[in-house]
Structure 1
C-alpha cells in the first residue's frame, strides 16, 4: 500500500504556489501582484523557498499520509510504519521539480506563439495545467513507482 500523501501535497502546493497564477512575489510593478500570469527569476526563487518551507511542514512536521484502501471480503489490514528518521526524498524531489517545471523559467508548454518556448518568463492557465500534469506524472514516478527515499539521521 503506497502513501499518496506526499504526491497530493506536492501537486496541490505546486498549483497554489506557481508564480503568476494566484500571486507573484516580487511582482513586476509592486511587491505582490495577483493573477498576472508573469514570472521572473526572483519570484521563482521566492516561491521555491515558500514551497520548500510549506512542504517541509506538511511532510516532515505534520507527516501527511494518504492511503487508498481496497476492501475485499470482510476485513482490511492497515499496517502503519513508524520511522524515527525523516524521509527527505519527497521534499527534495518535489522542490527540484517545482523549480525545473515552473512555467516560463526553462520552458513554457504550450508557449504563447509556439508549441514550446524557452525562458519566456511568461505563463498562462493552459501552461500551468500542462506543467501540473507533467509534475504529477514525474512526482508519481519518483515517489510511488520508484519509491525514492532519502533518510538523514
Structure 2
C-alpha cells in the first residue's frame, strides 16, 4: 500500500476544514457561517478537533483493513503531526501569505483563496517531509 494515501487525505481535510472557506464554527456573528473567509482562535480549535477526529478515524480504518505487519497501531506520529500543522498553518492565525492588503500579514484572522492554496502547499510539503521522508513516529505504550 502506498504511503501517499494518508497524505492525500490529510491535505484534503486541511482544505475542507480551513475555517472560513466552506464553513466556520463558531462564526463571528452566528454559530455557523458559510464562506466568510474569516477565522478566530476558537474556530481554529473547533475545526482542529474535527480534523483530529477524522484523521483518527482514517487511522483506525486503515488498521482494520491492513494487518499490523504493515501499520504500527501505536504510531500516532501522522495524526499528531497533522493536527499541529493544521493549527499552525491556518491562514490568518500566525501569518497569511499572501495577505489581503500586503504580501504577508500576521494575526489578521482573515483569509483568501490564494492564501488557502499557498498554506495548503506548505502543509503538504511539511507533512510529506515529516511523515514520508523523515518518517517521524510517535509511539504510545
TM-score, normalised with respect to structure 1:
0.84
Structural mapping, 1:1-153, within 5 Å: 3-59=3-59, 61-63=60-62, 81-83=69-71, 85-153=73-141
> CA shift at 1:152, angstroms?
1.3
- My pick for the range that moved more, 103-112 or 82-91, is 82-91
Give, in whole Å, the separation in 2 of the partners of 1:129 and 1:93: 20
Structure having the higher strand fraction is 1
Structure having the higher helix fraction is 2
Question: How has the CA–CA distance of structure 1 residues 149 and 84 changed in structure 2, closer, same or farther, with 3 Å as cutoff?
Answer: closer
Deviant stretches of 4+, over 4 Å: none
RMSD of aligned C-alpha atoms?
1.6
> CA shift at 1:85, angstroms?
2.9
> CA shift at 1:2, angstroms?
5.2
> CA shift at 1:84, angstroms?
5.8
> For the pair shown, which has the larger CA radius of gyration, 1 or 2?
1
Deviations 1:21-54 (Å, cap 9, x if unpaired)? 0000000111100100000111001001111111
Greater relative contact order (Cα 8 A, min sep 6): structure 1 or 2? Answer: 1
Give, in whole Å, the separation in 2 of the partners of 1:38 and 1:22: 11
- Unpaired runs of 5+ residues, structure 1, are 65-79
TM-score, normalised with respect to structure 2:
0.91
- Number of aligned positions between the proteins: 137
Q: Is the 8 A contact 1:2 1:144 kept in 2?
A: no
> CA shift at 1:82, angstroms?
3.7
